[in-house]
Amino acid sequence: MNDGPANGGKTPKKERMRFVSAEQVAQLAGVSRSAVSRSFTPGASVAPATREKVLRAADELGYHVNDLARGVLANQSRLVGIVATRPEVGFRAHLAAALAKALIRRGSIPILINTGQTEDELLAAQKMLIGHRAEAIIILSGSPPASFLELAQRNGQPLVVIGRSEPDVDHVRAGNSEASRRAATAFYESGRRRLAVIGSNSGTPAIVERETAFLSAAESLGASVVVVRGDDSDYESGVVAGRALLSEKIKTDAVFCANDLIAFGLMDVARQEARLRIAEDVAVIGFDDVPESSWLSYQLTTFRQDPLTMAQRAVALMERRLENPNAPPAYERVIPELVIRQSFRP
């Protein structure tokens, strides 16, 4: 017969996690509690010998400053919200990772919120970040509604948007139109006249800008252009759009894809289903230069967005806003570089 635990059959209580306290450090170092606090506060007045004793005791005990408590006292944490829809997909994943590294490097604590693009979802994310006294918000996707901007302004919370233009918000954008016009010109100058552009029904500003600029440039050069769109901006949409495009009676000899994931889907359909040779029969240019673009299976010619550069520009705008809340909105535009590989060589 099982009588239960050895303590009389009672289930032992779960002990709460206990972090080393500043008081314990003070006792071991033989100093006051306030001396411990001053030792970990940059610029605070504390004797070198006292600081040395405190640091030695803290190291022995494994003590770390309670940043959460400090944030509550200062009415602001070091949290920075990264708000994104499907942050695990394509270039956005690399940008989110680069932002996290850049923020950690400056001493901030990045918090990633995977949200949708509706006003209610964005506002729910913002209220959560305001409740945790986040010092700033960086949005990777979605259009912040007017109420979002107003709430940020009322709380003095800096807001940076990446990938779209907002008239009253600091933002970082890629040179989508410049790159797309260059793609159309490169195809035309290499003798390609039956062009296509594959975009997305997602209607994000970046995708729309790339589609529109390519179409306008190609038509002005006198090339014929077919426009095909998938439901989203991912690999599966590239497959669907590729099938629709390559089943057309009009033969296409060059395709500009609004991002690399779409290009991968198109290329697989072209080779495996339409039995076309990439570059010889149909040239392909993508956008983003995600790591898979250089894989031997694709060797995709594409426009490179550097996630580290985009992240650094966004963090710089955030710091500028923190230092000068009343400064006029700033605008950063990063022009992508064309990376030549085997899918198209101008």
Q: How do residues 276-334 score in pLDDT, each as one tens digit?
A: 999 999 999 999 999 999 999 999 999 999 999 999 999 999 999 999 988 999 999 99
Mean pLDDT computed over every residue of the chain: 85
What's residue 7's pLDDT? Answer: 56
Q: Which of 44-48, 104-108, 314-318 is most confident?
A: 314-318
pLDDT for residue 14 is more than 80: no
User: Is residue 292 within 8 Å of 298, Cβ to Cβ?
Assistant: yes
Complete edge-to-edge strand list for the sheet that includes strand 109-114: 109-114, 79-84, 136-139, 159-162, 170-174, 331-334
Query: What is the band of 72 on the pLDDT scale with cuts at 50, 70, 90?
Result: very low
Q: How far apart are CA 289 and CA 306, in angstroms?
A: 8
290 phi and psi, to 5 degrees? -70, 160
pLDDT for residue 220 is more than 60: yes
Mean pLDDT of the region 166-177: 88
Distance of CA 332 to the CA centre of its chain: 16
State pTM to two decimals.
Answer: 0.77
66 or 129: which leads in pLDDT: 129
Q: How far apart are CA 23 and CA 33, in angstroms?
A: 6
What's residue 74's pLDDT? Answer: 47
What's residue 65's pLDDT? Answer: 62
Token pair for residue 64? Answer: 């770390």
User: What sign does the dihedral 293-299-303-309 (CA atoms) show?
Assistant: positive
